[in-house]
Amino acid sequence: MWQPTKLELERLHKAQRLQTRGVELYPARIERTHRIAEAVDKFLQAESDAQVEDIGVTVTGRIRRLNSRGKVSFAHVEDESGRVQLFLRVNALGDESYELIRRKLIDVDDFVQASGTMMRTRTGEVSVNVAELRLISKSLTPLPVVKEQRTAGGTVIEYGEFKDTESRYRQRYADLAVNKSVREIFVKRARAIKALRDFLDGEGMLEVETPVLQPLYGGAAARPFSTRHNQLHQDLYLRISFELYLKRLLVGGYDAVYEIGRDFRNEGVSYKHNTEFTMLEFYKAYIDYKGVMDITERMFAYAAEQVTGSAQIRYQGTAIDLAPPWKRMSIREAAQELLGFDYMDYPTSETLYAYLDSRGLTEGLDPNDTWGRMIVEHILGNHIEQHLSQPTIIKDYPRDMSPFAKRIQGTSADEKERRYIASHTERFEFFIAGMEMGNAFTELNDPRDQQARFVDMKRLYAEEADETTPLDEDYLKAMRYGMPPNGGFGSGVDRMVMLLTDQTSIRDVLLYPHLRAPQVTEADLRGQFMLDAAVRGYEYQLDHVLEGSKRRIALYLPAPNIGVDFRLANALEGSLAQLQNLRKAFDGALFVMTDEALYRVDDDLAGVTAADFWSALS
RNA sequence: GGGCGCGUGGCGCAAUGGCAGCGCAGUUGACUUUUAAUCAAUUGGUUGCAGGUUCGAGUCCUGCCGCGCUCACCA
């Protein structure tokens, strides 16, 4: 239960005084003729047209600044569109209404409705000359105070900002209310996702929705969350990807489908990982991974244009050009270019590890990893990825890392090249700003090969069983009906939003990033207590302060006014028998709450002296 | 999970082991064109929690909780 702070008590008191004056604190009917930005624009337009007639407006919003100067006051109100100053004069408002300002009954953070005509103050600021001011929602908890100063150069310096990351994430509403730049991030996020939809719709793809709860997880290598359907007596998994469900739809006759939705992975969090994240996947028939590359390049350029106005963006001070074409190279070529060797010269995990060791490149590498994992996870992930600042497509991945991709095509007279072709797949990932942004393949559509891959995966990763892709018999059944050749694509949308909003942490592009649940607070306990009492039909009493004691106690009472002080005083100083009597008096339902916990006084206390009982609580 | 760092009024921050302080906000008063308004006065703290060392702990030690960074993990 809420325990008001000193500042909140002051506002509660103001709320009472307002109600005494007959002011409605939370009215239901609101008037507004203009959004704030519209009102200002209209005034500026009239000014430039040299019109003389008054522009009457009614605007609404939250007060963000209030500066009383005696019989005249200035306020800034803000709605989503912007801010405008209110010019408040006792002459215009009348004594009674102005009194609310003068007595400070209206605070910063309150929502108001203001009617008047547009004007400029003596210093030139566009304002509403307010004739009528109405409180439309009282704020009881003050928001953190942020003051702004505009320098001559136009930059805004903020004083006393609200920047404690934990508070900002846990109370995102306050963060948003105070920090305009945070609000802007999520506007851009919405624009980015709309841009993706518009683009994919424009490509003739059908947006679909597939199950979040799946009887088998698959399509990626990740630890899933599991849950249980009670009525069906069935274990279910939260999806780690959409892949297998989307590709079944190509069997069903759609040429191209996509889905934007949430995936869940039961793994660590980092600046670029959240346990739940937004994924985009699409699958398009009759194209291969080169076709997917073309779409990828155009799609990112389009999204950047829609969000930032240009395909040339800046990320953390670096200029990044998302316009096609992007650099494309195979993982083998990347290793040759950046590390100066051909991994095909080391065709087993043992020889590859030995070579890397001779170069001093094995830090963090498990010698028991598979050959493909060494190349993708270690060589690419630890030694190449961070250098890929400009958009780069890295293609042709080792087969054992890509269970849903077709082998690369071609033939060669050379033995080493034949081995290369046999052991690699048409898969690519693309990297921007040193971050993996997505993953795509020429999709495997041979059910016989697919079944072999499931078995391979199981064999390779037997010891980490929960990270392998389980064999999905229904998926194979679908594929046996015939799946058109197709190219598929998956990308973490949150990372794209990070890129387009210049953010370095995924948490800053998620409205509610995952945080550990905070400890139960006293306020939570009090709330529980109050609810329990209501359910039992008891009166309750919180913060019962006992004479000469620092303890605060909460009680369930079967009825009010039954001599609590007297009985408790006895119990505190007396024997267990008296305590039990007390309990009896309360119909066997005496609960005592201290700052730490809620205790039930019951038979478990037998044998404990009252003094020990109370000292155990303190 | 490992390492490093942080946790002090509502917010932003100080404080060699020695009286817990400052700014903003708040409260009271003054002011009819302010804009980080100003002026005068003023309230508010069990320094995340629990122990320990010490004459004395915000500060040192141990454990716990939370957050951040980083490593590990991570298609």
| Cα–Cα distance list, A46 to A39, A41, A77, A123 (Å) | 11, 9, 22, 19
d(CA A59, CA A45): 18
CA at A615, C1' at B54: how many angstroms apart? 27
pLDDT band at A462 (very low <50, low <70, confident <90, very high): low
pLDDT band at A446 (very low <50, low <70, confident <90, very high): very high
pLDDT band at A266 (very low <50, low <70, confident <90, very high): confident
Instruction: State whether the beta carbon of A92 lies below 7 angstroms from any atom of strand B.
Output: no
pLDDT band at A221 (very low <50, low <70, confident <90, very high): confident
The burial class, CB within 10 Å (0-12 / 13-18 / 19+), for A353 is buried
Reading the block at residue A219, the tokens are 């399509």
Average pLDDT of the segment spanning A258-286: 92
Whether pLDDT at A91 is above 70: yes
Q: What is the CATH number of domain A186-326+390-509?
A: 3.30.930.10
Q: How confident is the model over A147-173, as pLDDT tens digits?
A: 888 777 777 777 778 888 989 998 999
d(CA A186, CA A281): 22
Q: Which residue has tokens 């892709």?
A: A469
CA at A173, C1' at B24: how many angstroms apart? 21
Using the C1' atom of nucleotide B1, identify the protein residue whose alpha carbon is closest: A268
d(CA A242, CA A394): 23
Using the C1' atom of nucleotide B37, identify the protein residue whose alpha carbon is closest: A67
- Cis peptide bond N-terminal to A325, omega within 30: yes
pLDDT at A560: 38
What is the rounded radius of gyration, in angstroms, for the C-alpha atoms of chain A? Answer: 33
CA at A165, C1' at B22: how many angstroms apart? 23
CA at A6, C1' at B43: how many angstroms apart? 10
Which carries the bigger pLDDT value, residue A233 or residue A253? Answer: A253
pLDDT at A609: 40
pLDDT at A483: 97
Instruction: State whether the beta carbon of A174 lies below 7 angstroms from any atom of strand B.
Output: no
In the 8-state DSSP scheme, what is residue A509? Answer: G
CA at A518, C1' at B60: how many angstroms apart? 29
Instruction: State whether the beta carbon of A154 lies below 7 angstroms from any atom of strand B.
Output: no
Using the C1' atom of nucleotide B38, identify the protein residue whose alpha carbon is closest: A69
CA within 13 Å, CB half, A443 = 29
Which positions ≥6 away from A448 have C-beta within 8 Å? none
pLDDT at A363: 78
pLDDT band at A470 (very low <50, low <70, confident <90, very high): confident
Q: How confident is the model over A92-124, as pLDDT tens digits?
A: 999 999 999 999 999 999 999 999 999 999 999
Which positions ≥6 away from A450 have C-beta within 8 Å? A404, A444, A475, A476, A479
Within 392-421 of chain A, which residues have Cβ less than 7 Å from strand B?
A: 401-404
The burial class, CB within 10 Å (0-12 / 13-18 / 19+), for A408 is buried
Q: What is the percent of chain A where pLDDT is above 70?
A: 82
Instruction: State whether the beta carbon of A10 lies below 7 angstroms from any atom of strand B.
Output: yes
Which carries the bigger pLDDT value, residue A305 or residue A561? Answer: A305
Bases on strand B under 7 Å from any protein CB: 1, 9-13, 23-28, 30-37, 43-44, 46, 65-75
The burial class, CB within 10 Å (0-12 / 13-18 / 19+), for A153 is exposed
SS3 A237: strand
CA at A148, C1' at B36: how many angstroms apart? 6
CA at A167, C1' at B60: how many angstroms apart? 29
| Contact call for residues A46 and A34 (beta carbons, < 8 A) | no
The burial class, CB within 10 Å (0-12 / 13-18 / 19+), for A74 is middle
Instruction: State whether the beta carbon of A47 lies below 7 angstroms from any atom of strand B.
Output: no
Using the C1' atom of nucleotide B28, identify the protein residue whose alpha carbon is closest: A103
Whether pLDDT at A505 is above 80: yes
Instruction: State whether the beta carbon of A83 lies below 7 angstroms from any atom of strand B.
Output: no
Which nucleotide lies nearest residue A376, CA to C1'? B75
pLDDT band at A359 (very low <50, low <70, confident <90, very high): confident
Q: How confident is the model over A548-570, as pLDDT tens digits?
A: 443 444 444 443 333 343 334 33
Tell me which amino acid residue A350 is. E
Q: How confident is the model over A387-431, as pLDDT tens digits?
A: 899 999 999 999 888 889 999 998 999 999 999 999 999 999 999
Instruction: State whether the beta carbon of A348 lies below 7 angstroms from any atom of strand B.
Output: no
| Contact call for residues A101 and A73 (beta carbons, < 8 A) | yes
pLDDT band at A532 (very low <50, low <70, confident <90, very high): low
CA at A99, C1' at B28: how many angstroms apart? 16
Within 281-320 of chain A, which residues have Cβ less than 7 Å from strand B?
A: none
d(CA A412, CA A605): 84
H helices within A240-330, ranges in order? 243-251, 289-308
Tell me which amino acid residue A470 is. P
pLDDT at A369: 83
CA at A27, C1' at B30: how many angstroms apart? 34
Instruction: State whether the beta carbon of A108 lies below 7 angstroms from any atom of strand B.
Output: yes
Query: Domain residues of chain A, as ranges?
Result: 6-154, 186-326+390-509, 522-617
Whether pLDDT at A540 is above 80: no
Average pLDDT of the segment spanning A65-75: 95
d(CA A529, CA A602): 17
Instruction: State whether the beta carbon of A436 lies below 7 angstroms from any atom of strand B.
Output: yes
d(CA A121, CA A278): 48
pLDDT at A4: 83
Within 480-509 of chain A, which residues have Cβ less than 7 Å from strand B?
A: 490, 505, 507
pLDDT at A531: 61
pLDDT band at A324 (very low <50, low <70, confident <90, very high): very high
Average pLDDT of the segment spanning A313-331: 94
Instruction: State whether the beta carbon of A165 lies below 7 angstroms from any atom of strand B.
Output: yes
pLDDT at A175: 94
d(CA A420, CA A412): 10
Instruction: State whether the beta carbon of A537 lies below 7 angstroms from any atom of strand B.
Output: no
Instruction: State whether the beta carbon of A184 lies below 7 angstroms from any atom of strand B.
Output: no
pLDDT at A596: 34
Q: β-strand A82-89 against A126-137: which pairing, if any?
A: parallel
| Contact call for residues A441 and A495 (beta carbons, < 8 A) | no
Whether pLDDT at A46 is above 70: yes
pLDDT at A1: 63
Angle (deg, nearest 10), helices A473-480 and A447-460 = 160
Q: Which residue has tokens 């948003």?
A: A176
Least confident of A142-146, A323-327, A474-478, A574-578: A574-578
Whether pLDDT at A42 is above 50: yes
Fold of the domain built from segment(s) A6-154: OB fold (Dihydrolipoamide Acetyltransferase, E2P) (2.40.50)
pLDDT at A157: 76
The phi, psi pair for A192, rounded to 5°, reads -65, -45
Using the C1' atom of nucleotide B26, identify the protein residue whose alpha carbon is closest: A7
Which nucleotide lies nearest residue A378, CA to C1'? B74
pLDDT band at A524 (very low <50, low <70, confident <90, very high): low
SS3 A78: strand
Which carries the bigger pLDDT value, residue A609 or residue A187? Answer: A187
Q: How confident is the model over A185-220, as pLDDT tens digits?
A: 999 999 999 999 999 999 999 999 999 999 988 888
Instruction: State whether the beta carbon of A162 lies below 7 angstroms from any atom of strand B.
Output: yes
Instruction: State whether the beta carbon of A68 lies below 7 angstroms from any atom of strand B.
Output: yes
